[in-house]
Amino acid sequence: MPTADPSIASALLADFDASPTPYHAVATIRAALDAVGFALAEPGTGPVGRWYHADGGALVAWVVSPDHHAASPLRLIGAHTDSPNLRIKPQPDRMGAGAARQLGVEVYGGALLNSWLDRDLGLAGRVVVERADGPDVLLMRDDRPLLRIPQLAIHLDGDIRQQGLKLNAQQHLSPVWGLGDGPTFAEYLAEQVGIPADAILAYDIMAHDLTPAALNGLGDEFLCTARIDNLLSSFLAVRALVAVADGPGEAIPMISLFDHEEVGSVSTTGAASPLLRHQIELVQAGLGSTVADAARARETSLVVSADGAHATHPNYADRHEPDHQITLNGGPVLKINANQRYATDARSGAAFVAACRSAEVPFQRFVNRTDLGCGSTIGPATAGELGIAVIDAGCPQFAMHSARETAGSLDPAWFQAVLEVVLHG
């Protein structure tokens, strides 16, 4: 077994900090790909080379070598760039209790709402502005501690000790960001991007936690940061693709990083869209593939749906399947669900086990308690859209969907090693 190595987790800290939104994550990844010779693909590009296609918070990247041909299979890693958070409403300005300036927010995805309380929050996202030659999309990011959602004092919540914290998303999550008179949100945003307020056509702006990513614990056992679900898998997919780019195997290596997984994947850049299928078709068309060639390629292709897995929580062990204990730093997790909330089946699961053995990496198997519901991933949507066998797997973590999550610092290196084996084909 390879020596446990926290250096990859440590190297990812700056990437997490640079990526407060899906749009910033794609910008971070594009810069990493550009640095090693990947290029933005245009219609008719290629086929041979290192390429990527980017669309908002989504990105598809691939490598085609001179040895690849019309019926070459695909080895693909899928992940997603979005995470549950708080997003600013179109008309957000409001006043509370006379003098408190607040912003209206909408909860995106299944956020653990309590984790957003009493934190320093910044703002980031994209702004569409009007230019003389048409609309232009700008990224913005403000890492000042602008927003805060103060919790009600315990003295004023007589039921909290007996009933626990209860939050209403409409009433209790509007952050404060000033007192008395001040700029509107549109005026603030215009100043941030350097344009007049009336030139703003629309925006996708969200709050983000300002605590930097870090290795925590007495021996740096833990990776703690916002957006582990699922930027960790996204960054590891990129690193794995770069690692095999100089010598891809018989299969064409690809990664697909989708947006909107946390809200069902149904969008132009989600896993239930034709985004990935269209890119695959373009790659295969460049190689002269026929319908029969594409069908032969699908038969031997494989997808890893790379997403976070639930580690067994030491304070809530009863919420987990007792015969499938999952530990941080115990190796990547193969996720299985008989009701197809995860897309793993016996054949694809066997391929994952073989990849782990080839990489000499420990692995774990997760199933949910039978009497509890199960989350899902891009796996089932990808399997249905492409007709290709899918493995659901990922690094174990605590506090999934919190504003700040926890994973093991050793698991990323092991998972990357397995992804490299899969991509190499």
- H or E, element range at 418: helix 411-424
Give long-range contacts, CB 8 A cutoff, 24+ apart: 40-47. 41/282, 43/282, 44/286, 45/282, 45/286, 46/283, 46/286, 47/283, 47/286, 47/287
Across 107-111, average pLDDT: 98
| pLDDT bracket for residue 3 (50, 70, 90) | low
The confidence score (pLDDT) of residue 46 equals: 79
Question: Roughly how many angstroms between the first and final C-alpha of the chain, as a whole number?
Answer: 21
Paired sense of beta strands 58-64 and 252-258, if any: antiparallel
Are the CB atoms for 366 and 397 separated by under 8 Å?
A: no
Are the CB atoms for 286 and 47 separated by under 8 Å?
A: yes
- H or E, element range at 88: strand 85-96
SS3 282: helix
Distance CA 361, CA 355 (A): 9
pLDDT over threshold 80, residue 209 = yes
pLDDT over threshold 80, residue 397 = yes
The confidence score (pLDDT) of residue 121 equals: 98
The confidence score (pLDDT) of residue 44 equals: 73
- H or E, element range at 34: helix 22-34
Distance CA 331, CA 408 (A): 9
The confidence score (pLDDT) of residue 333 equals: 98
pLDDT over threshold 60, residue 329 = yes
Are the CB atoms for 123 and 205 separated by under 8 Å?
A: yes
| pLDDT bracket for residue 5 (50, 70, 90) | confident
Are the CB atoms for 207 and 121 separated by under 8 Å?
A: yes
C-alpha dist (Å) from residue 303 to 49, 276, 291: 21, 12, 20
Q: In this predicted model, what pLDDT tens digit does every residue of 123-153 receive, in sequence order?
A: 999 999 999 999 999 999 999 999 999 999 9
The confidence score (pLDDT) of residue 343 equals: 96
Are the CB atoms for 409 and 220 separated by under 8 Å?
A: yes
The confidence score (pLDDT) of residue 2 equals: 58
Are the CB atoms for 61 and 52 separated by under 8 Å?
A: yes
The confidence score (pLDDT) of residue 1 equals: 57
| pLDDT bracket for residue 43 (50, 70, 90) | confident
Across 26-30, average pLDDT: 98
Q: In this predicted model, what pLDDT tens digit does every residue of 236-257 receive, in sequence order?
A: 999 999 999 999 999 999 999 9
Q: Let me know the angle formed at the C-alpha of 92 by 227 and 100, rounded to the nearest 5 degrees.
A: 100
Are the CB atoms for 129 and 135 separated by under 8 Å?
A: yes
Q: Range with the lowest mean pLDDT among 77-81, 162-166, 362-366?
A: 162-166
Across 207-232, average pLDDT: 97
Are the CB atoms for 224 and 6 separated by under 8 Å?
A: no
The confidence score (pLDDT) of residue 159 equals: 87
Distance CA 228, CA 210 (A): 15
pLDDT over threshold 60, residue 188 = yes
- Structural domains of the chain sorted by starting position, each given as residue range(s) with its CATH number in brackets: 7-83+226-424 (3.40.630.10), 85-209 (2.30.250.10)
> Edge-to-edge, what's the strand order for the sheet holding 390-394?
39-40, 49-55, 58-64, 252-258, 74-80, 302-306, 390-394, 333-335, 364-366
Q: In this predicted model, what pLDDT tens digit does every residue of 11-21 receive, in sequence order?
A: 999 999 999 99
The confidence score (pLDDT) of residue 10 equals: 97
| pLDDT bracket for residue 306 (50, 70, 90) | very high
Phi and psi (nearest 5°) for 295? -65, -45
pLDDT exceeding 90 applies to what percent of the chain?
95
